[in-house]
Amino acid sequence: MKKESAKTLKVGGVKHTVKKNKKGDVVVDHEAKAKAGKWDKINLTKKGGSKTVKEGVKAVKEWHKDNPHKKAKNGAKKDK
């Protein structure tokens, strides 16, 4: 079985890395300047049923398309 490499993409102004963890689950790790807490790493296999890194990248793009970041009045990005 060929090992899938991690994919890095920028969505919603934030760098996301989609990769497989040691258990074989697809995980997205999004980098943030402030500590992101429990949302720092999201298991896409459990949340969205992604089985490959390619499916995980697609899921991240679709989620951010449906849930765009809103901008605050001062121009800074603001989560919902």
DSSP 32-65: -SS--GGGSEEEHHHHH---SHHHHHHHHHHHHH
Whether 80 is in a domain gets the answer: no
Q: Is residue 65 part of a domain?
A: yes
Range of the domain at 57: 7-71
* Residue 26 belongs to some domain of the structure: yes
> Would you say residue 25 lies in a domain?
yes
- Into how many domains does the chain fold? 1
Q: Is residue 79 domain-resident?
A: no
- Decide if 27 is inside a domain: yes
Tens-digit pLDDT profile for residues 9-20: 988 778 899 999
Tell me the CA end-to-end span of the chain in Å, nearest whole number: 40
Task: Flag whether the pTM goes above 0.85.
Answer: no
Look at 11-15, 28-32, 55-59, 68-72 and tell me which has the smallest mean pLDDT.
68-72
Calpha distance 54→1 (Å, rounded): 16
Whether 59 is in a domain gets the answer yes
- Domain membership of residue 76 (yes or no) is no
pLDDT one-digit tens code per residue, 21-51: 999 999 998 876 666 555 678 899 999 899 9
| Residues 10/21, Cβ–Cβ less than 8 Å | no
